[in-house]
Amino acid sequence: METDVARMGLGALSRAFTRFALRSFLPRRAYTKSEFEAFIAQTEFRTYEIQQSPLALDVDLRK
């Protein structure tokens, strides 16, 4: 996470808040990879790829 925040080019206060947000309240609201797979299973998309990084899920859906 530190590397990702450093790449954002934020000032000191913004960096501190971003780190705080990513560690505290945002993880509670984020979908996990398995939750996303369960959601996809309920759709017509049968082919998908999910790339997971510390800060994001990159989802590619195909019919």
DSSP 50: E
Q: Which two tokens stand for residue 55?
A: 């800060």
Q: Report the pLDDT value the prediction gives residue 47, as an integer from 0 to 100.
A: 93
Confidence tier at 63 by pLDDT (50, 70, 90) = confident
- The count of other CB atoms within 10 Å of the CB of residue 11 is 8
pLDDT 10s digits, 5-61: 888 999 999 999 998 988 887 767 778 899 999 999 999 998 999 998 877 889 999
Q: Report the pLDDT value the prediction gives residue 23, as an integer from 0 to 100.
A: 83
pLDDT 10s digits, 32-45: 899 999 999 999 99
